Structure formats: structure tokens, C-alpha cells
Structure 1
């Protein structure tokens, strides 16, 4: 694998990023396009094809052994399709088949974006060295992924670990997913801001009503802002504890925009975990911030592709 490279795509509602990545997670070539998210499906695919075309123009392309794709979801890896919530033109879109054609027939591995970030954190980041981990992305939504027994565990469709839609409040607000009281409905950035505004928090002169503005207010001691983050922290703690109880993880990694709030979120989260993670086998659970930053999706998609390649090589031996 020392000479192997893989191609990687990170597809979201804002941008489509591509890279050639080496076996150590180093990004050697990059390409990017804005996602034409409101256009029809084939227009979105053309942007993906342009990114792959730019990568294929590199002299290193010939060494690429596979293509890994981390996409906003839901994804269905078993069918090779994607239906990203924020890209309405893609509903059951045959991304794997189209990407394979655009990449000259390379083998393709598709995973959800939460699983991709998990792969990156386990390979190169905060979950490195941990065989059983949950990684969470807390931003506009709440996603995640699992590492179990030292291996990425995407599940049959590539969505395992989607902690945002564990219900933590039986009588809670209806969630757009159709359930009630989901972690995401309490802990996502927009929902933290919504709760703060409903509680009487008011933005500063700039009118910024983002979760980052609520976090700044909480740091300054605003009690409504603090309470909104504390409630988000309790929802996250309940979801993390449920996951740990089910599959015995020993570390939870928190990434995403809301994860960047730091101690405003992590301090009440760690405190709340002591209330929820009470059984002997989950008490040692640690919670840490993500380390991988904006390249996590690309590095994780590459990790998934390299993992497939390594398994194939092992199978051939």
C-alpha cells in the first residue's frame, strides 16, 4: 500500500471537494466546486464530474487504486444511491455508478458524511488508538458514526451511528424525521439558537442569531444562552450514554460547528454524562473535541477507500 493513492470526494450542500490522498492521509492534489444544490440532479453530477476531471488531469491519477465518497445523506451504500436532504435534485440518485464511470472504472466506496468524519478521526485524529468509538458532527444537523472492534462500522446502507435521530425526550418536539424529541431537535445549531430566542435571548447589534452567537453570549454569562447549551449538552449526553450502553464505546468525539463552542458545550456535557452513563462498563467514557477540521470528510472518504483496498488485498493473498 506504500505506493497506493486513492481518490476521495466529500459532497455536501455547499461544496463538492475532491482530493488524491496517500496511504498516510496526506492530501496531494485538490479540486473543488460549489454545489449547485438547487439545480437538477444531472447538473449536480456535472460538478462532481468536473472535480474528478481535475483530479484525473494530475500525473498522480494513474496511481489511484479506488475512489472513496463521503456524501451528505441519507445514503444507501447497498444500492449505490444518495438522497441528500439539502440537494433536492438527488433522490435515489445513482451516484456510485455515475462516479465510477467518471473515474474510469475505479472501484467506489460510498459512505455517509458522518461515517466519513468518523473514519478520519479514527485514522488520524482524536479517536486514534481507540477500538470502540462514537464520533459526532454537531452543526446544522447532528450526525455521527461508529468504530467497533477497531473497524469502521457503517452498517449495510452506510448510515450506522446516526445518533441525531435517537429520541431522548418521549414528549418532545416533533422532529422533521417523523419522530419526537430527537437529539438533533434539541442539540443542533439552529435548535440551540431557536430555544435561546424563545427563552428571551436577544442578539447583539449585528443581529447574529447563530449558535456561535449564542455560544459567545453563554461565555459572557448570559443565563438564557447558558441554559440553551446546557439543554443541548443533556440531549447529547443521553444519546452518547445510550450508544455506549448498547455497543460499549469508550470515547465520544464531538466535531462540527457547534462542537467548536468548546467548554460552553463540553463542560455541561461531561457533567450530564455522569447522570446518564451510570453502568460500570460505560463510566470510563471520555468526551473529546474533534481534531481533523475541514479536511475530515476527504480524509475519511480516503480511509474508507484504503480500507476496502486493504481488505481486497488481504482477500487475494
Structure 2
């Protein structure tokens, strides 16, 4: 039986991934290019065109009914434009229009990468079966997205749920976004590592100063490394509790590189959450690691396309 498919694009500062995905979230075909992030906007678009081109030459392409894009942000879904912080050549870049052209006029749905990962975790991952969820990506930055009343809630521009830029420290460090004391400024991987180094932690013989190396040191009991993860956990807990208090989510899912730190992050996070999420309606809030892995962006972009083009779906998104 030839069921309809959707094309999915996952666009980040390192790679541009594409896929053809069926209504059950299965990836049937993949294509990928490195992102020429420091080049001009049209050079970056050529890499996107190459990925789409690789999909369109497949006989499966005839079954594609829509294109979903999850892009590094900020994005503006209402205008169809993207301005990814880590791709300087794209500022208010008309990505939807360009992709529609490359995809022979198929309808195109644009969401931010945090929202895409949320869509994937709700459809196939740790938030499955939850009608109200916050999903977060904690890595180089901190992004996120919301599911409310069983539906993805991207907001008018596709950025709703961007928890990384909730302020949790009124007098905290200035954040590159222009605010201060943001969750991202405390909990992102580079900031966990920066704080550990400032506190006197030193890397091993390999010289690795990443958050993953700090996590390893924390597991071995290094007090400075432990303290840096505890501070990150506290910031995440404050942001999650604020979100839950506003919109009554019952699960927060954490993915990204920092989310892989395991107990070093989740034990202090659950402890801190108990001190911030104190009202009766948020006390049952659970926190879980993401399950979808590296395909989350593609599967979530596909979910967004499917939800706007129900004729293409065989499994409710």
C-alpha cells in the first residue's frame, strides 16, 4: 500500500539533515550535508537545496505531500523566515519560500528546533501519552517547546516554550540575548564548563574542557564539578517550575548533550524541583530524559508537517 509521506529538514549550525518519513515516524530515506555556517546565506541555501535534491530524485518522492522544517532559531513561522544565531548569513532569510521552490511547490511547515524535538518526544518518545508537556534541549544552548491539551503549541512565530531565555536569577550574568540570569546562561554545556573552570576544576591529561568532561569528574566526586551541575540543575528546576505553574504541564523531558549526564544532573534537578514546584497542582510534575536521540529533529519536523496535512498521516500526531 502506497501511503503518503512527508519530507523533513533538520537545520542546525553543524549539519543540514533531510529525510522522507511515513505516517508512523519511520525514516525511509536520508540525506545530509555539512552546514557552511560561516558562508553567505545563498551558500547555506545551496546545501539545503542539495539535501532536498537528493530526496527528490528518489522514486519515493512522488508520495511526499508536505515538507516540515525544524530550524535553529530564532525562526518566524508567521513570516516564513529564519535568523539562526549560529548561521550569521541567514538574517530574516526567506527559508519557507526557498524550500517551497526547491520542493516543487509542496506546502511547507516551519518550526524552531526546540519545538521540533518536542513534537518528536510527544509523538514517539518520553512525552508520549502526556497531554501537557515541556520538552527541553540542553546542549550548547537551551531550547524547548510545549505540548498543551494534547497539541503541539508552537505559538504564532514558532518559538513558544523557549525556556532557555526565562530569567531565573534577577541579578545574574548578562546573557548574549540581552537579558540577564537566563536559564541558558547557567545551564548550557559551555556555561557548566566555564563555571567549573572558574571554580578551579582542571581537565585531565586529554585537556577536554567540555561539559561531558565536567560530568565525568562530577561522577568521580570532584566537588567543583558537582557544584557546577547542581547550579545548572537549580536553574533548570526554577525554569521548569515556572513553566508548570503557568500552564500546568505534568512532565518535563530533557534532551541534548547535557541531558545525557544522567544522575549527575537528574538527582539534583529532582531535589531542586521539589523546592520550586510547591503548589498542589505542580507537585506531581515528573522529569525524564529524552528518548528520541539524534533523529528527534527530523521526526519532529515530520510530525509538524503531518499535523498540518492530516491526509498524509496514518498515525495520529
TM range (shorter): over 0.9
Counterpart of 2:202?
202
Specify the alignment match of 1:144 in structure 2: 144
Equivalenced residues, count: 313
In structure 2, the partner of 1:284 is: 284
Q: Work out the CA distance in 1 between the residues paired with 2:254 and 2:149.
A: 20
* 2:85 corresponds to: 85
Aligned to 1:60, what secondary structure does the other structure show? Answer: helix
Per-residue deviation at 1:303? 0.2
Cα deviations across residues 40-62 of structure 1 (Å, max 9, x unaligned)?
A: 00000000000000000110101
Please state how far the C-alpha of 1:3 moved relative to its aligned partner.
1.0
Q: Distance in 1 between matches of 2:93 and 2:267?
A: 41
Aligned-pair CA distance for 1:172: 0.3
Other structure's SS at 1:38 match = coil
Gaps of 5+ in 2: none
Report how far residue 272 of structure 1 moved. Answer: 0.3
State how far apart, in whole Å, the 2-side matches of 1:312 and 1:233 are.
40
Q: Cα deviations across residues 161-219 of structure 1 (Å, max 9, x unaligned)?
A: 00000000001000000101000000000000000001010000111000000000000
How far has the Cα of 1:2 moved from its partner? 7.7
| Aligned counterpart, 2:122 | 122
Instruction: Give how far 1:277 is off.
Output: 0.1
Residue ranges of structure 1 left out of the alignment (5+ in a row)? none
CA contact (8 A) 2:3 2:312 kept: no
Q: Deviations over 1:104-145 (max 9, x none)?
A: 000000000000000000000000000000000000000000
Return the alpha-carbon distance in structure 2 between the equivalents of residues 36 and 233 of structure 1.
34
Aligned equivalent of 1:220: 220
Post-superposition Cα deviations, 1:138-166, rounded to whole Å, max 9, x if no partner, equal 00000000000000000000000000000
RMSD: 1.2
Tell me by how many angstroms 1:99 deviates. 0.2
Q: What is aligned with 1:264?
A: 264
Q: Is the 8 A contact 1:121 1:296 kept in 2?
A: yes
CA distance, structure 2, for counterparts of residue 36 and residue 10 of structure 1:
15
Distance 2:17 2:140 in 1: 19
Does the CA contact (< 8 Å) of 2:190 and 2:211 recur in 1? yes
Conserved? CA contact 1:2–1:23, under 8 Å: no
SS of the aligned residue for 2:309 comes to helix
Task: Give the deviation of 1:311 after TM superposition.
Answer: 8.2
Deviation, structure 1 residue 91: 0.2
Question: How far is 1:312 from its partner?
Answer: 9.8
CA distance in 1, matches of 2:311, 2:100: 19
2:110 match? 110
More deviation, 1-10/156-165: 1-10
SS in 1 for 2:176: coil
The 1:312–1:34 alpha-carbon spacing in structure 2 relative to 1, beyond 3 Å, is: closer
Taking the aligned partners of 2:143 and 2:169, their CA distance within structure 1 comes to 18
Separation in 1 of the partners of 2:63 and 2:312?
Answer: 17
